[in-house]
Structure formats: C-alpha cells, structure tokens
C-alpha cells in the first residue's frame, strides 16, 4: 500500500528561482532564504520519497482565461518548463507519475471531488521553485512529481474547507494504491504578499505566524477562515495559502513540526516553510 | 447574490479583486498579455505596439492603459496582475519593479520598504483608513 509519510509547505516566489538560475544564490540578500532550506534539502535526501504530490497554482501559464479549472491533476509522464515571459527556467523537465496520478484522479472523482484531468501541461515557477528549494540544482529531478493545480487567480478560489477535505480524499486515494510507495505532499504559495495596486508590498508577519501555528495544531478550524480574511489581512496574493490546507488535510490530525522557517522579504513576499511528520489520528 | 455595495472586498484599499465582472471586462486585455509568453509575439509587439494590439477587440481605454503602461489603470479595466506581469516581463520589469510602479514609489524606496519588513497591515485594512480611499 502507498502511504503519505510527510508534508512540506513552501512559498514559491519566482525571484528565488531567478536568483538560483542566474547564480545569485550566495548574495547577502538571498543567503538567508536558502539557509532556511539547508536542513530541508538534507531531510528530503535522507527520506528519498518515491513520489511527490505538489499542490501549486498556475500563474496564467498552462491555463489562461480560456479554461479555468478549480482543481486539475497532471497525469502526464513529463511536464515541460514554461516560458513565463523571460524564457523558460533552466531546470530539468518535471517527470510525472501517470499511474498514481490517474489513480488519484479516479479515486477523488468518485469521492465527489470533480478533478480536471490534464495530459499536456507546461509548469511554471509555482511548481518548480519549491523543487529547487528542496532539491537544489540537479541535472534531473530525483523523484517523480504529480502536479495538482488549484485556481487561486480567478475569484472565487476554492474555500479552505474544500481544500482541506480534498487533502483527506487524496490521502484515501494514495492509501488505496497497491504499490508500496512513500509519498510526500507539498503545499505551496504564500505567505503574506500583495503584488498588485497601491497596497502592493503588504506583509503581515503576525498573520503568517498564527497561520503556521494553526496549520500545525488546529487545521480544521483554520480551514473555516473566509477568503476575505486572507486578502484583507495578508494581501491579495496570500489567498494562495488555501493550498497549504490540501497538504495538511492529507496528513494525520496530529502532526509534529520537523522544521519551521519564516523570512521577510523575498522580493515582494514573506517566505514560509514547514516540514510536518504524521503523529497520529484522533479517535 | 451579493450586491457591489455589500461586497466586503471593495473596502480593501489599493486592491482590485479579480472577480467575474473584471474577468469579463478584461478578457481581451488579459489574453493579449497571455500572447506575450511566446518570444515571436514579444518581438512582433515590440516592432509595432499599436498594430499588434489591433488583434484584440479592446476598448480605447484599455489600449491607452497598455500603450502608456498605466499598470493600475489596467487592473481597474479588468487586467489581472499575473497577466499584466507578462507585459512587464516583455518590458524587462520584474514583479518587484512592477509593484514599485503601482505604489508610486521608486524601485529603491520600494525595495527598502520590503527590506524593513514590508508595508504594515496597520492603517491598510479599510478604505476608511486611507485619506483618498
């Protein structure tokens, strides 16, 4: 049986990818960001998971205003790196896991989550930056990745509660897969940031740290937080944080925080990062 | 249905929510931006902006906002930041450079604000806290 062994939360700020790709990772500005992931790189190399399910959002890359799926699962064997306007990032293509991805699609749809199945999709910084933070700059990514794209660009995005329950359905799907695979779920995006308009640059460290506390200790309550609170308190693009609840829903009710990191700023954004290990369910 | 008056998102200062109304209004503006993900299209746009914009049935106001690079006006007219940032990339502007322009700060002022912890939430929750709303 496959099982979910851990969860990772991470921001996916494009400037982090650009800093790495352009050899600027050792600059004083970027050094604290990458230092916050040193433990994580060693942790995931030691764990050597068989598959990663990565929850992220597409930033008007594979999906434009022509088609806007709320939840889309990548079932392809390979996902090319998108040109987001600067030329594609110089990272290897992302290798998928079609068999498990299709299994999750079927299981979650029958569990009443109406997933969009995607067989041809380029992936942007939302997916690749967390991989770079966790795995550095390998010639090939060391593990297959199942992309799970969530719409957080067009209102309304899914509710936190819906995301949390999708995480539970993904866990059920993984645990009904016959092969012994060790799966890690990534939830990406956030934390507080606003990229648009005269209020751009908003950061709310108190909001972010309370979010981290509650994601660990009381995710069912956190899942009930309405969209307006994310947008008003932590910036229009902080709504991405609902995606972290998918990762959290796929874990046990109780988790242990293995690693926690928070840093301001990376470009316009507060960097948040967690590694969570399962610690048992409530009965 | 919520009426616009009752929409609590409208009270957030300096922020446009990309909702159904703005998405309908900005469809062609955003799809023009989307086209700039291809190098050949970026080159064609740079070679003749007005002619390139003729390919999309935008309003004169939307065209003007693009040609004058009025980034906040694009958002007011239905643009979304993840689309308009592709126009920014075509101009060689990063997300941070774009953000500085939208806040009316110099890139140096904006970068310094971010380094000192970003824009505070205090005084920035409600339009009632902003002198000019």
Kindly state the tokens that stand for A137. Answer: 């700059």
Domains of chain B: 18-91 (1.10.700.10), 94-133 (no CATH)
B122: three-class secondary structure by DSSP: coil
pLDDT band for position A100 (50/70/90)?
A: very high
Residue range A41-87, pLDDT digits in tens: 999 999 999 999 999 999 999 999 999 999 999 999 999 999 988 88
Beta bridge partners of A74: A118
| Distance separating alpha carbons of residues A24 and A26, to the nearest angstrom | 6
pLDDT tens digits for range A233-278: 999 999 999 999 999 999 999 999 999 999 999 999 999 999 999 9
pLDDT band at B6 (very low <50, low <70, confident <90, very high): confident
Name the percent of chain A lying above pLDDT 70. Answer: 99
CA distance A183 to A259: 18
Which residues in chain B have their CB less than 8 angstroms from residue A85's CB?
36-37, 42, 85-86, 88-90
Residue A6 bridge partners (DSSP): A184, A277
- pTM confidence score: 0.97
Take residue A48 and report the two structure tokens written for it.
């050597």
What's the mean pLDDT in A164-168? 98
Per-residue pLDDT at A193 exceeds 90: yes
Query: Which of chain B's residues have a Cβ under 8 Å away from the Cβ of A270?
Result: 118
pLDDT at B133: 53
| pLDDT score at A170 | 98
Give dist(CA B109, CA A31) in Å, integer: 22
A123 vs chain B: nearest CA distance in angstroms? Answer: 13
CATH superfamily placement of domain A34-278: LigB-like (3.40.830.10)
Q: Hey, how many other C-beta atoms are within 10 angstroms of the C-beta on A152?
A: 28
Instruction: Give residue-wise pLDDT tens across range A147-163.
Output: 999 999 999 999 999 99
Contact B121 A204 (CB under 8 A): yes
Which sequence spans correspond to the domains of chain A?
A: 34-278
Inform me whether the pLDDT recorded for A36 exceeds 60: yes
- Report the pLDDT averaged over residues A184-209: 98
């Amino acid at each position: 049986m496959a099982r979910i062994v851990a969860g990772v939360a991470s921001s996916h700020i494009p400037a982090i990818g650009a800093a790495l790709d352009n050899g600027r990772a050792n600059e004083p500005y970027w050094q604290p960001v990458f230092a916050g992931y040193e433990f994580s790189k060693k942790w995931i190399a030691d764990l050597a998971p068989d598959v990663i399910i990565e929850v992220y959002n597409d930033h008007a890359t594979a999906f434009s205003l022509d088609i806007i799926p709320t939840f889309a699962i990548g079932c392809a064997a390979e996902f090319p790196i998108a040109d987001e306007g600067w030329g594609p990032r110089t990272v290897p293509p992302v290798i998928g896991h079609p068999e498990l991805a299709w299994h999750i699609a079927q299981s979650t749809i029958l569990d009443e989550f109406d997933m969009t199945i995607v067989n041809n999709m380029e992936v942007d910084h939302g997916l690749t930056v967390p991989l770079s933070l966790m795995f550095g700059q390998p010639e090939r990514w060391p593990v297959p990745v199942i992309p799970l794209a969530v719409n957080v660009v067009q209102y309304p995005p899914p509710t936190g509660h819906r995301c949390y329950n999708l995480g539970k359905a993904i866990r059920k799907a993984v645990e009904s897969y016959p092969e012994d695979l060790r799966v890690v779920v990534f939830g990406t995006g956030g934390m507080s940031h606003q990229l648009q308009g005269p209020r751009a640059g908003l950061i709310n460290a108190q909001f972010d740290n309370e979010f981290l506390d509650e994601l660990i200790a009381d995710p069912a309550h956190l899942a009930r937080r309405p969209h307006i609170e994310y947008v008003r308190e932590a910036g229009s693009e902080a709504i991405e944080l609902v995606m972290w609840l998918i990762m959290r829903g796929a874990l046990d009710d109780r988790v242990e925080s293995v690693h926690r990191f928070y840093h301001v700023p990376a470009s316009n954004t507060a960097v948040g990062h967690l590694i969570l290990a399962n610690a048992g369910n409530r009965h | 249905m919520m009426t616009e008056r009752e929409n609590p998102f409208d009270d957030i200062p300096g922020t446009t929510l990309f909702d159904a109304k703005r998405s309908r209004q900005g469809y062609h503006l955003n799809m023009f931006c989307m086209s700039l993900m291809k190098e050949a299209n970026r080159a064609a746009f740079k070679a003749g902006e007005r002619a390139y914009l003729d390919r999309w049935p935008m309003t004169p106001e939307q065209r003007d906002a693009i040609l004058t690079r009025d980034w906040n006006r694009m958002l007011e007219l239905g643009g979304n930041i993840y689309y308009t940032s592709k126009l920014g990339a075509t101009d060689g502007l990063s997300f941070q450079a774009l953000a500085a322009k939208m806040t009316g700060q110099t890139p140096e002022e904006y970068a310094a604000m971010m380094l000192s912890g970003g824009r505070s939430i205090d005084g920035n929750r409600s339009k009632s806290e902003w002198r000019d709303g």
